[in-house]
Structure 1
C-alpha cells in the first residue's frame, strides 16, 4: 500500500499530498489545485494577503491602544503623587494636550446601557397613542418610534432614537407615562473608555481627528 505523505502550507491554503497540490473547499473537501479555476485561485490569494495584513494591523492597533492607556495611566499616577489629585471630570473624561497646543488626546468614558422590562410597557402605551393619533396624522413621531424600537443586527434597541423620544414634549397622559417607563427601564451595566486623537496645523485652525477607524479613513 502506497504511503500518503501530507505537507501543510496554510499560508498559501495549499495541501501537498504525494507531491500533488490540493486545496480545501468550503465543505472541507480536498480539491486538486489543477481543477480549480484560475480566478478562484487568484481570489483566494488576494483574500489571504489582505487578511494577513488586516490581522497584523489589528494586533498593532491593540498594542498601540494598550501602550497608550499605560502611558496615560502612568502620567495620571504621577500627577496624583505630585498633587494628590487626578485629572478628569466626574465621568472620567480627560483631555491631554501638547505644550504647543497643536496635538490633543482625549479619553472619553461612555456608559453601556441596557433596558429593563419597563420598555415593553412603554411600547404598549406609545402604540395606544399612535393608534389614536393616526387620524390626526403625526408621521414624524411614527417614524421616530419605528426606528427606536426596531432592533439592529445585534438585536439591540436603537438607543439614540429612543432618547429622541424622551426629548419630545407631548401633552398626553399615556405618552408621559410611557416616557417615565422608558426612563425607569434604563440600566447602566458598565462603562467603556474610548481614546481619540486630534491635531491642528496652527492655533487658530480647527481640530482634525486622526482617524484609526477603517470605515472612516
Structure 2
C-alpha cells in the first residue's frame, strides 16, 4: 500500500509530497529525463571507479615487480606520484595522488559543541 501511495505522489525540492495530478506534464517529462540521465551517470561513475581501481592495481603490480628487479624500495615522488612511459614514447600513464583532507564525525560533534556554546 505504501508503494501505491508513493506512486501517486512526487517529492518536491522542499521534501513535500505533491500529487502527480497536480504536476504539469512538462514538469513530469523533465523529471523523468533528468532522473534517467542521472541513473546513467551514476552507472558510468561506478564503471569509471572500477576502471581507476584496475589501473591503480596494475601500476602497483608493475612497480612491485620493477622494485624487485632493481632492489629499490619505493618509486615515485614524495606523494607517490609516478609516470610510466611506453617504450616508443607515444603513451604516458601518470598516477598523481592528491592531498586531501577528510573530516570524520568528530569534526561534526566539535562543530555542534561550538555552535551550542555560541548560541548560549
The TM-score range, normalised by the shorter chain, is 0.5 to 0.7
Aligned to 1:6, which of 2, 19, 31? 2
| 1:99 Cα offset (Å) | 2.8
Q: Which residue of structure 2 aligns with residue 56 of structure 1?
A: 43
Q: Which residue of structure 2 aligns with residue 105 of structure 1?
A: 93
Aligned to 1:15, which of 6, 9, 19? 6
Provide the C-alpha distance between the structure 2 equivalents of 1:30 and 1:91, rounded to a whole number of angstroms: 49
Larger radius of gyration: 1
Provide the C-alpha distance between the structure 2 equivalents of 1:91 and 1:6, rounded to a whole number of angstroms: 52
Higher strand fraction (1 or 2) = 1
Provide the C-alpha distance between the structure 2 equivalents of 1:23 and 1:111, rounded to a whole number of angstroms: 41
Pick closer, same or farther for the CA change 1:45–1:99 going to 2, 3 Å.
same
Pick closer, same or farther for the CA change 1:89–1:50 going to 2, 3 Å.
same
| 1:111 Cα offset (Å) | 5.0
Provide the C-alpha distance between the structure 1 equivalents of 2:78 and 2:13, rounded to a whole number of angstroms: 52
Aligned residues: 100
User: C-alpha offsets along residues 167-198 of structure 1, whole Å, 9 cap, x if unaligned?
Assistant: xxxxxxxxxxxxxxxxxxxxxxxxxxxxxxxx
Pick closer, same or farther for the CA change 1:27–1:98 going to 2, 3 Å.
same
Q: CA RMSD in A?
A: 2.5
| 1:72 Cα offset (Å) | 0.6
Q: Which runs of 5+ in 2 are unaligned?
A: 102-120
Higher helix fraction (1 or 2) = 2
| 1:101 Cα offset (Å) | 2.1
TM-score by length of 2: 0.67
TM-score by length of 1: 0.40
Q: Which residue of structure 2 aligns with residue 75 of structure 1?
A: 62
